[in-house]
Amino acid sequence: MSGGMGELCRSASEGSGIATAPDAVPRKSADYKSQLKPIWCPGCGDYGVLNSVYGGLAALNLDPDRTVVVSGIGCSSRFPGFMRTYGFHGAHGRAVPVGIGVKVANPSLEVLIVGGDGDGFSIGGNHPAHAARRNVNVTYVVMDNQIYGLTKGQVSPTSPPGSKAKSAPYGTVEAAINPLLLMLAYGATYVARGYASQAKQLTELVANGIRHQGFSFIQVLSPCVTFNKTATYDYFKERVALLPEGHDPHDLVDAMRLANEEETFYTGLFFEADRPEYTEGLVRTGRSTTAAPIEVERLIRQYS
Ligand code: SF4
Ligand code: MG
């Protein structure tokens, strides 16, 4: 884990290829806020995630005009509206392929994909697998509240068995999926978990995830205070803990063991690996992605 924001800022300038200029005026969190005020319920965990994303972008001094935030559908997918970057609020479950399309069309852009547990692991459940195995250089932040909030409270793929909600008044009998285990198995090269209330750690995880040259996945425990009466702040307070000191983030098996822990929600960097990145592979094999915008213009002319 990186130590402090000063180190993060230094790290960002070390040839990571992120969208900032060396002589750029340092930016603050406020520089990434749009004029739109979030309309999440008071106390929703997503406020904390938004603030940590502002902080992570500021720590890297990313150029808002070179940054794109893509979402699907759900409460958390309102996210791009609150960012002073480019944004795309897409179709349910399709944030990941849209974000990848943006990155492949123009790899010089920083792409942040955001969404919820239902959007990412039910409706769009097949997409993270392929983004991870391709190792596309985007950062995917999933705000996991273990429920569908926007549609007013149905169990989601991360709701544990026994969870009660409008769609399961007697308690769901389905097993929950474990997003961290999935992403580790899919081959994601940066896998982390944060908690909406642990702002400093989450800010660092976001910044380091963006800095990582490959597919970064960050699960954020983000309570839905309105519809989830089980996974509350009190519930997480008793169960959230930092990863054990000495955990080696290059040890995939140990990362899986810790991700599989059911009594404790460990937070921090579970796993990081260095593997060839997708768009670099395209360029290396002669399929320059820089040709894509020209191609799009030709297609638009052809069909307009
Ligand atoms: Fe947040 Fe839940 Fe309200 Fe949606 S319904 S804004 S997830 S608290
Ligand atoms: Mg949800």
Q: Is 148 in the pocket of ligand 1 (CB under 6 A)?
A: no
User: Ligand 1 pocket test: which of 37, 39, 44 has the largest number of ligand atoms within 8 Å of its C-beta?
Assistant: 44
**What's the pLDDT score for residue 284?**
86
User: Ligand 1 pocket test: which of 225, 230, 233 has the largest number of ligand atoms within 8 Å of its C-beta?
Assistant: 225
> Which residue is it, tokens 């972008």?
57
Q: Is 38 in the pocket of ligand 1 (CB under 6 A)?
A: no
Q: Is residue 301 assigned to a domain?
A: no
Q: Is residue 87 assigned to a domain?
A: yes
pLDDT in tens, the chain (304 residues): 333 333 333 333 344 556 665 556 899 999 999 999 999 999 999 999 999 999 999 999 999 999 999 999 999 999 999 999 999 999 999 999 999 999 999 999 999 999 999 999 999 999 999 999 999 999 999 999 999 999 999 999 999 999 999 999 999 999 999 999 999 999 999 999 999 999 999 999 999 999 999 999 999 999 999 999 999 999 999 999 999 999 999 999 999 999 999 999 999 999 999 999 999 998 888 876 664 556 677 777 888 8
Q: Is residue 21 assigned to a domain?
A: yes
CATH number at residue 212: 3.40.50.970
Range of the domain at 25: 4-276
**What's the pLDDT score for residue 287?**
76
Q: Is residue 296 assigned to a domain?
A: no
Buried b (16+ CB within 10 A) or exposed e, 48-71: bbbbbbbbbbbbbbbbbebbbbbb
Structural domain total, the chain: 1
**What's the pLDDT score for residue 300?**
79
pTM of the model: 0.90
Q: Is residue 284 assigned to a domain?
A: no
Q: What is the distance in A from the centroid of ligand 1 to the CA of 292?
A: 38
Q: Is residue 282 assigned to a domain?
A: no
